[in-house]
Amino acid sequence: PGLWLTFITLFGTALAAASSSVLNNVVDRRIDAVMARTAGRPLPSGAVSAVGAAVYGVLLGAASFVLMALYVNILAASLALFTVFFYVGIYTIWLKRTTPMCTSIGGIAGALPPVIGWAAVANNVALAPLLLFGILYLWQPPHFWALAIVRKEEYREAGIPMLPVVKGDRVTKRQMLLY
């Protein structure tokens, strides 16, 4: 791909990731305040208002979509927007609070960037980006479960049903090896 398409795709994908992160922080601000690892973030520390952050997060997501729709293609723009929706709506708001499978299912959003990149160039989805998606998807749960084992008590205190909290370290480590 040309330099311009590469830049716009990377920038648009970065805007979508930033949107997801900001909106995740808005939704999780009370949980983050309980956990030592996240208590210093701008929202739980009071450095940034929840309303201001929410507006900023939505604007980042909208900018990602508009930029990519105008200068890349609608498929790549829609996939980037889907990652924001999936990460915030499905993972953060729903799964993270209800099931230890949150990390497994939530990994879908984090594994989509290669698919977005492929769609930007080819304006379709094919086997090659799906294989890259699979590699990233399978890497994410063990990565986050390792963190969750170390921070298990913080997750327990925050009421997040991470796998090590619900099933213990042994089951979590077995799942990590399976992945």
The answer to whether 119 and 112 are in contact (CB under 8 A) is no
Number of Cβ within 10 Å of residue 7's Cβ equals: 12
Spatial distance between the Cα atoms of 112 and 91, rounded to a whole number of angstroms: 14
pLDDT of residue 52: 97
Band (pLDDT 50/70/90 cuts) for residue 34 is: very high
Q: Residue 122 carries which DSSP code?
A: H
Q: What is the pLDDT of residues 126-175, one digit of tens each?
A: 999 999 999 999 999 999 999 999 999 999 999 999 999 999 999 999 99
The whole-model pTM stands at 0.93
Q: What is the pLDDT of residues 52-97, one digit of tens each?
A: 999 999 999 999 999 999 999 999 999 999 999 999 999 999 999 9
pLDDT of residue 178: 93
pLDDT of residue 131: 98
Q: What is the pLDDT of residues 3-20, one digit of tens each?
A: 999 999 999 999 999 999
pLDDT of residue 112: 97
pLDDT of residue 12: 98
| Average pLDDT of span 40-54 | 96
pLDDT of residue 140: 93
Band (pLDDT 50/70/90 cuts) for residue 100 is: very high
Q: Name the residue with higher pLDDT: 37 or 57.
A: 57
